[in-house]
Structure 1
Amino acid sequence: MSFLLPAGLFGLFALALPLLVHLVRRPPTETVPFAALRWLGDVARPQRQWRLRQWLLLLLRLLLLAVLALLLAEPVRQAGPDNQRVRAVSPQLPAPAPVEGLRDVWLAEGFPTIAADTPVSPADQPISSLLRQLDAQLPPGASLQVFVGPMLDGTDGQKPQLSRAVDWQVQAAPDATPATDAETDAGRTAAAPRLVLRHDDSEAQRASLRVWQALAAAWQADDAAGSNADIAPLTAPLPSLDSDTLLVWLADAPLPEAAQSHTANGGRVLVAAAIDADTPALLDNGQGAPLLARAADGRWVLAAPLTPAAVPRVLEADFPARLLAALQPAVTAARADAADHAPLTGAASLFAPTPQPLAPLLAVLIAALFLIERLLACWPRREAA
């Protein structure tokens, strides 16, 4: 139990008033001579019951004042620990089958309860913000399971950090081709880039050229051989760069002026460099290390050469589609691969349980004590015989 207004407890000092009155007050005594009764013996007055009643009255009045002081302090009772299990599902996915003991909610504004016959449209609120809000609303003892689609379009640039471990499950979208094929087709028809690559003479970068040629072939539906890709050493001049061009600069040499202008105009430029620890990764290398990230200046940063030894993920069939999805023109920090965007732990719990006020119970108790006190104070006193 806690108090919303602890200063009300100063009312407990009022307990001294009835105590002092009880100790100071004495019943008035007066001797009245009466000749006709001089031969009668002394008769004891029945004071025992009256004194007991006085002590009961004192106790009731003290208790009444104490409860009044508590009422002024506005006591509340905090909710106890909650071990509920919650499953949050992205509105892009179908409603899951209900499980006993599991509370299902949509990962949308207000977190409505899932009903199979009540579809919920995707919310405009970023998914990272929704996850933090849901984490703050759940008590520390609650477990959280999250179902999301392959791609997240509502992130805020970094993996959300929550106060609890999350069972993060990436589900395939319903009524569609497999995610890899769908993403590949979307990349080909929407914004498949024209690859312009310049590399130095390092062995690692030259070994990655075969992977880049395969990526260009996978991205271009009408160019299976990848002949549309312009892959050359640093000495080769750059062609004209437009919004459909992806410039890949695999060298330690600084970007030429044309490439810097392309970056300043919002063009896509990918450079080989180390990824800062504070920069959220869009892809990893398949072993947990960051591979691709978006720098503050708008350029994409590739942390390792695309070789099977350095990046085992290049051997996965969906790697071209996932890399292309991360390099789309509309891709900002608000879009990320769901598999690489699982929430982190370590944040402080922001759970604020709703306190339950005790004022109604105290009001009933005060009324009962006052009624008992009045009945006892007005009870007729038994006179002497």
Structure 2
Amino acid sequence: MNLALLLPAGLAALAALLLPLSIHLARRSERRPTDFAALRWLHARVRPRHNLRLDEWWLLTLRLLLVAALALLLARPVMFGASDATPWIVAAPGVDAGVLRRSGTDESGARAERRWLAPGFPEADAPPPPFPATSVASLLRELDATLPSGAPLTVLVPPFLDGVDAERPVMSRAVHWRIVPGDLVAPVPPSVPAPGMPTLHVRHASDRAGGVRYLRAAAEAWAATSVDSGVGSGERTPPTALVVGNPDDPLPPGATALAWLVPGPLPASILGWIEGGGTALLDSQTEVAGMETKAIAQWRDQDGAVLVRGMPMGRGRVLQWTRPLAPAAMPALLDAGFPAQLRALFAPAMQAPGRVSSSAYSPRTGMAAWPERPKALSHWLVLLVAVLFLVERLVAANPRRRTAG
């Protein structure tokens, strides 16, 4: 074990040791001469002597120790090499709680710390946690960085894991990966169909009617593509992909895509609809708070100029044209790829698969060991300072000391 100081300059406070020493010498008990009748007529020459004597040395020692402890506390001492090698056993959500509670020892037979592989790493006696939003790999990496380098780690997992990353986690230590029965198996998410284009609702001002024609042409291309690819009933009449209305027309229930071609501030009703999960593509002159500073590019032209920018808002998204919907300002309106690009803005993201067989997800080794975290000693020094101060006050306020003085 090695001791170190995170702030060695704090030891400069040791110079304050001179303060209680000086006060103690200056305020020592005074000696007053007393006349004595039988000796008052003697005229013996007495050599003056100056003796440096420390009275109440125990009180001085307490005060010096108190100042030294404060100076050491300012230097922030830590201890290296005092890592705890206690084994850890963690269980992923889905493992039978009884299996974790009965696993009192690790592979070597040593007594182990038992926790759940969940945010905060709750103890084994706590109720089984629900399936967390944090992925198993993220929790394993966090635990790997938190545990001392010499602490063995055993992970109990059910036959299948949900909410995993795209690749096996890489750890700085060898992990004992044990597949055990589970009593809480998360339901398999239903298969997600290929993302399609929802009905696009258009609300436009009277001076923005010219831009609607390009959105209508794109919607007709979507419908034609759906019919040609066999999506829908198979009849030549394409499904409705575009609904045009005035700004005051309310959005129907279930609407998820909106093109808002109205300049000026965005109404509160539309803001609430977006925060509830809708996606709105706004006119270049629509005013939305934060769009100038928080939005990022969503669509660029061939020259790299931004055509559409966007940002999340609540559970939805807000997008905005950076130019007017006119070929003179935006030549991309006449490109053959305009319908597909516009469709990609509104298409919902496909859900990534998150279930994997536990036997195929065992962690790999190869990551460099995390730096050893020093053990702080500040809390012990604070306790020492408090005890020394209390004892010093008790000694200084002792009535016997006052009587003796």
- What range is the shorter-chain TM-score in? 0.3 to 0.5
TM-score w.r.t. the length of structure 2 is 0.43
